[in-house]
Amino acid sequence: MSKGSAMFSQYFPPKAKWGVDDIPDLSGQVIIVTGGNAGVGFETVKALLAHNAKVYIAGRSEKKVNEAIKELQTQTGKTAFFMPVDLSDLRSIKKGVDEFVQKESRLDVLFNNAGVMWPAVEMVTAQNIDLQWGTNVLGHFYLTKLLAPTMIATAAAQGKPSRIIHTASSAAQSHPATEGVKIETFSDGPERKKRTTEVLYGQSKLGNVILSNEFARRYADQGLVNISCNPGNLRSDLTRHIGGVKKKVIYMMCHPVPLGALTQLWGGTSSEGVKHNGGYLIPWARVGVVPPQSQDAALNKAVWEWMEEQVAKVEAQ
């Protein structure tokens, strides 16, 4: 299959053969969904609650998360819980995880679902990192690293792997090879400002796949399954920074938000999903080909080391 036909299959997927009704009973499982108050995250949380999981919504705005929790309770009769985490601030992530592990001794699945798309190039994180890379990749890197000990212990106690699902995008595959992943554009500075917000977004989504690949390679023998996925092109709140005609054109190729939850739910809950450590899933609940640009071992190592350095700076303060 050519690259063009493979991408067409993701833009316009065949009818799903797996649905939320196929999710097994999740009683006893503890799950975190970042960005679970809106869009694909909301639909993911709703399906998990409906199958008896205990779900924490990790988000920045307590008001927005509590509004989502109220709506989810109306729709499912189940209650989710707020986990205060601002992915654009590494200190907030540490604080949020510290509070979580005081409450819970297990974590079965982590959905690294939250993301920001096409904000103004001037926008940066609390640590002066490009907002899209800092939120979509670095923030999830630190969150996952901090939660890994709890997930490893859960896997050992349950006798089955814990799972981490990294939500990427079709942009991970369409990102120009000429741009690739440039470490000098991660922090604010002249090189970053030369890029458009669209290029920086594609780089961050490729970063999500790199992150999944590296966690898969480094933690597989400790009981962690890491999978990245393209949830599909969706009419979601992720497009909030896009306006006018551009948004209308994009929406012509987009699908209803509930469909976007299927692929990550399949990876995170099905018996089949656990077999795909280091894999890449595509709409709707299918196995795809890992984007070639994410397969450079030297680059992946360099990206991982850069993220470790950023975390070390904050932890040393």
Strands in the chain per DSSP E: 30-34, 54-59, 81-84, 109-112, 162-167, 224-229, 280-282, 286-287
Residue 82 identity (one-letter amino acid) = F
C-alpha to C-alpha distance for 293 and 280, rounded to whole angstroms: 13
Nearest residue to 55 via CA among 92, 75, 26: 26
Let me know if 280 is a catalytic residue.
no
Amino acid (one-letter) located at 62: E
DSSP-derived secondary structure letter, 255? B
> Hey, what are 2's tokens?
């050519």
Among 169, 187, 212, 236, the one annotated catalytic: 169
Tokens of 217: 């390679």
Residue type, 290: V
Give the strand pairing for 286-287 and 280-282.
antiparallel
First to last CA, the chain: 51
Active site residue 64: no
Q: Which of 56, 142, 201, 219 is catalytic?
A: 201
- From 46, 54, 78, 205, the catalytic residue: 205
Q: Compute the distance between CA of residue 167 and CA of residue 207 in angstroms, rounded to an integer.
A: 11
Say if CB 136 and CB 206 are below 8 A apart: no
DSSP-based three-state secondary structure for 38: coil
CA dist 137 and 186 (Å) reads 10
At 147, the amino acid letter reads L
Q: Is 70 a catalytic residue?
A: no
> Catalytic residue numbers?
169, 201, 205
